[in-house]
Amino acid sequence: QLLAQVNQRVRDQSQEKDRLLRDEQRLVRLLKELRSPKVGTLRPSRDSTSQEAFPTLDGRFTDNKGRLPLPVQGTIAARYGAPRNTGDLRWRGIFLAAPEGRNVVSVFRGRVAYADWLRGFGLLMVLEHGDGYMTLYGHNQSLYKEAGDWVDAGQTIASIGSTGGPPEPGLYFEIRHDGEPRNPLDWCKIR
């Protein structure tokens, strides 16, 4: 009976690993498609929904490394590079646990490249910031912007949810450069 339980646990972990790999492959394909047309000069919108206390960030995305705020106030429940439940797979972003419905904001001005459901990531928003940089915001309850919209830093773009299967409500957040994941905590300042 113990052997049967161990075998079932191994099968379950193998299936979970396969599911996570398929989810990652879907995301990589999506990002490859989004990178085809390069973003030119980014012009921020001047929308009144920007947060008042958001820091002023000038220049290019890369000029603000280490100065970007996190997109939501929450607890870091999973860190970039940490092992996932399956052991040999690693987190490619961070998961910020936060109450459902809390506002998610853009960490930098840019254009919405994708705003829709993606299996494994739930309601996902991808912002292009120029020079090959993108930020990804997953597991949202609601998306407030559409593909093609321009957003300012600090502008509310979504609300926290639990779509796509996370263990608790929160936000999955990634930064990518030319499709390759970067550690968000190298880019974002934790208050």
pLDDT per residue as tens digits for the range 123-134: 999 999 999 999
**3-class SS shares of the chain: helix, strand, coil, % to 5:** 20, 35, 45
Q: Which strand (E) or helix (H) includes residue 142?
A: strand 133-143
Q: What is the DSSP letter of 39?
A: P
pLDDT digits (tens, 9 = 90+) for 21-53: 777 787 777 777 776 554 443 444 444 444 445
Specify the higher pLDDT residue, 19 or 115.
115
Q: Which amino acid is at 11?
A: R
Residues written for the chain = 191
The rounded mean pLDDT for the chain is 84
Instruction: Check: CB of residue 146 under 8 Å from CB of residue 152.
Output: no
Instruction: Return d(Cα 39, Cα 44) in angstroms, integer.
Output: 13
Q: Where are the beta strands (DSSP E) in 14-132?
A: 68-69, 75-78, 94-97, 103-105, 110-118, 122-130
Q: Which pLDDT score, from 0 to 100, does residue 134 have?
A: 95
Q: Tell whether the model's pLDDT for residue 105 goes beyond 90.
A: yes
Which tokens go with 10? 């191994």
> Model's pTM, two decimal places?
0.78
End-to-end CA distance of the chain: 50
Please give the C-alpha separations between residue 84 and each of 50, 87, 129, 140, in angstroms, as whole numbers.
34, 6, 28, 20
